[in-house]
Amino acid sequence: MTAVLEPTCAPLAATSGDTLAVPLVQGGTVGYANFDYAASAPALAAVTERVSALLPYYASVHRGAGYASRVSTECYESARGTVGTFFDAADDQVTVFTRGTTDALNLLARCVPGDTVVLDIEHHANFLPWLANGRRVVTAAGTVAETLRRLVAELCCKPAALLAVTGASNVTGELLPLRELAEIAHRCGARLLVDAAQLAPHRRISLRDTGIDYLVCSGHKLYAPFGAGVLVGRRDWLDAAPPYLAGGGAVRSVSVAETEWAAAPQRHEGGSPNVLGAAAVAAACEALAAIPEERFVAHERALTERLRDGLAGVPGVSQPRIFADSGEGVGIVAFTVDGFAPGHVAAYLSAEHGIGVRDGRFCAHPLLERLGLPAALRASVGVGTTVEHVDRLIAALHTLVRGESAWSYAAEGGAWSPVPETRPLGADAFGAAPCAGF
C-alpha cells in the first residue's frame, strides 16, 4: 500500500537550515529546499543547542583538574556511551571517535589481520582503505540473491578476515540484508563491517541483533556536522593493532626505551580529541532516538514514494537501480535527465528554484561505471524535507524539460554555473566580513 503524507505534514525535527532563504538569479529569495542530506545533513536544533551550551566549558579532556576540564571530560566519555547505546553495541564492542567514516575505515584497515572482501558498489571510503591489506573485490550481480551467492563463493574458496559492505547505497539508497550478511560472514570464518554512513540517518541499527561486528558512520550525515565520526566494534582487533595515531592520550606510560599503549578506544584516539564533535554526535543520537521509529520510517517512505512517482512522470527522467530485487530503500534517489548534463540540471535547480541536489559520481566511480553513467543527479530526503520541497523539485524539472529555463548555464573547469551569476557567494552570502583569500 502506498504511504500517504498530507501536504501540511511538518518536518520531523527542527534543523539549523529550516529558515534558510536563498537568492535566485532572476531576483528575490525562496526558502531553501535541501535534497543533499546524503552529502551533509544540517545540524539538528538539539545539536546546535548542545554545542552552544558546552562551548563555555570547552577545555582539555583527560588532562586537567579544572572544573571546565572535568565537565568536558565527562561530556566526552558520556557521549561514547550514548553512541554505543544508540547502535545497541554488544558487551565486547567499544566506541572510538574519529573524524568521520573515511577516517574510521582507514583506522580499522590497519587492524584487520587478513584479507578484506568488498563489493564493487561501495563508496570510495569503503573501497580504497582495503588496498593495503589484501582487498578482494566481488562484482555485484543484478540481484541481491545472486550477489549473496557470489559472496559465499568468494568467502568459501579462500579465507578472509573481514567482509566490508555498505548498509545503504549512497547512490541509489538500496539496502543489503545485514543480518543475513553477518550470518554468511561468520559461517565462513570472517567478520562483518558495515559502512552505515547512509543507513544510520534513516534506519535504527542494532549491532547486537544483527550480528554486525564493526560499524562506521559520520556525524555530518547524522545531523551533527561538527567534524566527528565513530567506529563501533569488537575490541580484540583494536587492542592488538598499533595505535592509529601515536601521541598523547593513546598511552599508559612512556619512557625513552619503551611505550606502553592504552587499550581501545583510547589507543586509537591520540591527540586532543574533538570534544564538541563527540558531544554533537551524542546529541544527534539522542534526538533521533526520541522520534518513534514507525513515525520516522513512515515520514521518509511517503516522501520518497512521492519523489519517485513524481520523477517517473517527468519526460526523459530515469532512475537507475543496482538490483532488480532490492525492494524498498532509504530516502536517496539517483536520476538522470535526457539531453541535460547532471551539472547543468543541478545548477539550474539551485539558481532558479532554490533547490539543492547533488550531481557527479558520488565518490562511487566503479558503481557509476557499472550503471553505464558518466554522472548522475541525486536527491536525498531527511527530517526537514517537506511535501512542498518534493513538489517544487518535480515542477522545476517539468519546466526544464519543456525548455522554459529562464537563464543560461555554462561549464567551466567541470563545474556548471549560471551566466551571469547574480547571487552573492562566499562570506558575502551571510553578511560576514570577507575572509583572507576570498
Active-site residue numbers? 363
Q: Which three cell numbers stand for residue 155?
A: 568467502
Report yes or no: 360 and 180 within 8 Å, Cβ to Cβ.
Answer: no
Burial 195-212 (b: 16+ CB within 10 A, else e): bbbbbbbbbebebeebbb
Beta strands in 265-362 (DSSP E): 317-318, 332-337, 355-356, 358-360
Dump the DSSP string for 71-92: HHHHHHHHHHHHHHHHTT--TT
Nearest CA-CA partner of 48 in 12, 14, 71, 80: 14
**Locus of grid cell 572482501:** 117
Cβ neighbours around 158 below 10 Å, total: 11
Q: Which of 195, 126, 129, 191 is nearest to 162 (CA)?
A: 191
Q: How many residues does the chain have?
A: 438
Alpha helix (H) ranges present in 211-265? Answer: 235-240
DSSP codes of every residue in 111-137:
T--S-EEEETT--GGGTSGGGGG-EEE
Q: Which of 79, 62, 66 is nearest to 266 (CA)?
A: 62
In angstroms, rounded to a whole number, what is the distance separating the alpha carbons of residues 315 and 25? 25
Q: Pairing between strand 229-234 and 214-218?
A: antiparallel
Q: Which 8-state DSSP code applies to residue 263?
A: P
C-alpha cell at 172: 541509489
In what side-by-side order are the strands of the sheet with 229-234? 93-98, 229-234, 214-218, 191-195, 162-166, 116-119, 135-138
Tell me how far CA of residue 414 lies from CA of 64, 204, 423, in angstroms. Answer: 49, 38, 20
In angstroms, the CA 212 to CA 86 distance is 14
